[in-house]
Amino acid sequence: MTENSARIFNTSSSEYIAMTDKNSLVDNMSVYPAEVTVTTTDNEIRTTIQQSLIDPDAETHVYKRRWYILLAYSLLACTQGGYWNTWGPIAASSEDAFGWSDADIALLSNWGPISYVLATFVMSWVVDVKGLRWACLSTAIMVAAGAGVRCITDQPPYVKWTVNIGQFLNGLAGPVAMGVPPALSALWFPVKERTTATAIATILNGIGVGISFALGPYMVPDRISNQNITASNYSSSNTTERISQERHDIMIYMYVEAAWAVFVLLLILVYFPAKPPKPPTLSASVERMDFMTGAKTLIRNARFWVICATYGISLGVFNCWQSVLDVILKPHKIDESEAGWLGFYSILAGCVGSVILARFADVFSRHMKMFLLLLYISGTGCFVWFTLLINGTIPESTYSLYAAIILATLLLNASVPLYFEMACEATYPVAEGITNFVLTLVNNIGGLVFLLINMVPNIGTAWENWTCLGAIASCIPVLFLIKENYNRLEVDEIKKI
């Protein structure tokens, strides 16, 4: 490839043309020093990347410390996800201890998506302009501060304020905990490890949620259900003693979570640079668009919005469907505790499947669309199986319900890192931060719409299964029509040309 040759990146609404133009340079902020000219016309944004900077012999290096960076970030994402789900698994004890209602517990969970919407664009700006260190450090501070605030008191009505403030602060950390993995993998990992690193960083947020399902009831046991139903249990002294013990259990749980959050903050504080000294790939050395130009380009990229819609609608609805699984399964003799463990096993299965499939996607690059189609077709089949079981169309059994739910979760959750990487490929050289923050924002909006419908009086639960099935199945023809492009991979494979 000569210095005067050009490489063209196509999108549906604009073109990104990489060519030599030594006389037209601008100084933009990015993770590595490079020169990019951005020319805006009436109908498109044209990006000119200095070809001499995409040198086949450019020095790159893959550092062993990348695994520490991945571990530190993954623990941060795991902590944020687990703390968001603190109160659902111990709802009965919390309501008894503090006189809360179901609406109070629901609000504590709702701070996650509410704060996410508020913080998305601010945190995407921090990631793309200030770098990963500032983004992850500020996120770790918010998680630790949120956990610390919850330790202030256990006395009503003040405890309601401290806990809600803590949940709000933790929710503000959500965008970085969910949207940074592709940016981190692009900065630190080589091409053949990029999707795997994205998968590992992504699944830890879900694992944190899964751990909270098991840890919460262990540290805060349901003392009401465990009591014998006798008249003496309802005496004033016994009730006061029970409530006192519940508050004690909850505060111990808060102290443990706060201590762990401080430990994770120290990991980030001690060592978490904005970038490695040398980039791991050629594409990582190329200047990304500045934040505002990247945002405008993203809006015009129709292919990105198709990817965004399929991801946001299907997985946004599916993830929130999982959150009401206990309600759906209650008529089928599966209680809240068993439904919680089913959710835990499903999340673990999805995490394992995500890493395995991501590894295949790294080895067999340029086939993300094929992998997504296989996952969605198989996932739709599992969900049809589950829906027929629930509706009594085919003979129902607990084993069949478990198998259908766990397999569906495994298949659909395995698609998340593929969506992240496909979006980055389609929008390059737009920065990975804003690309995936918007992607996860649409996912949260899809989930919020599903949860809002749940609030309609007397709507029942039968619609939930059909809605989730429709959201997943409707994405299959759209995925067939998506035209793949690998803008970033084209740069990384220049050495092979």
Ordered DSSP codes for 219-287: HS--HHHHS---GGGGSHHHHHHHHHHHHHHHHHHHHHHHHHHHHHHHHHHHS--SS-SS-SSHHHHSP
Average pLDDT, the chain: 79
What amino acid occupies position 450? F
Q: Give the pLDDT band of residue 234 (cuts 50, 70, 90).
A: low
pLDDT for residue 360 is more than 50: yes
Q: Do residues 198 and 354 touch, judged by C-beta distance below 8 A?
A: no
Residue 294: the pLDDT is 83
pLDDT for residue 230 is more than 70: no
Residue 76: the pLDDT is 96
Dump pLDDT digits (tens) for 146-181: 999 999 998 888 999 999 999 999 999 999 998 899
pLDDT for residue 379 is more than 80: yes
Residue 344: the pLDDT is 77
pLDDT for residue 124 is more than 50: yes
Q: Do residues 3 and 20 touch, judged by C-beta distance below 8 A?
A: yes
Residue 393: the pLDDT is 80
Q: Do residues 26 and 39 touch, judged by C-beta distance below 8 A?
A: no
- Which among 361, 73, 68 has a CA at the least distance from the CA of 195? 361
Q: Give the pLDDT band of residue 237 (cuts 50, 70, 90).
A: low
Residue 55: the pLDDT is 55
| Interval 396-421 mean pLDDT | 85
Phi and psi at residue 49, to the nearest 5°: -100, 130
Burial of 336 (0-12, 13-18, 19+ CB in 10 A): middle
Strand partners, 2: none
Residue 421: the pLDDT is 85
Residue 455: the pLDDT is 62
**Which position has the higher pLDDT, 327 or 213?**
213
Residue 276: the pLDDT is 92
* Across 22-26, 105-109, 335-339, 422-426, least confident range: 22-26
Residue 324: the pLDDT is 64
| Interval 38-55 mean pLDDT | 43
pLDDT for residue 42 is more than 60: no
Residue 54: the pLDDT is 57
* Across 123-137, 249-263, 328-342, 415-429, least confident range: 328-342
Q: Say what the pTM is.
A: 0.77
Enumerate residues 6+ apart whose C-beta is below 8 A from 52: 3, 20, 22
**Which position has the higher pLDDT, 339 or 360?**
360
Q: Give the pLDDT band of residue 72 (cuts 50, 70, 90).
A: very high
**Which position has the higher pLDDT, 335 or 354?**
354
Tell which phi-psi region holds residue 371, choosing left (phi > 0), alpha (psi between -120 and 50) or beta: alpha
Dump pLDDT digits (tens) for 271-316: 999 989 988 888 777 777 788 888 888 888 888 898 988 988 888 8
pLDDT for residue 41 is more than 70: no
| Interval 450-456 mean pLDDT | 69
- Which among 303, 51, 274 has a CA at the least distance from the CA of 183? 274
Report the C-alpha gap between 262 and 396 in whole angstroms.
Answer: 47
Dump pLDDT digits (tens) for 460-482: 667 778 888 888 999 999 988 88
**Which position has the higher pLDDT, 392 or 355?**
355
Residue 303: the pLDDT is 87
Highest mean pLDDT, choosing among 26-35, 184-193, 219-228, 455-464: 184-193
User: 15-19 and 45-50: which strand pairing?
Assistant: parallel
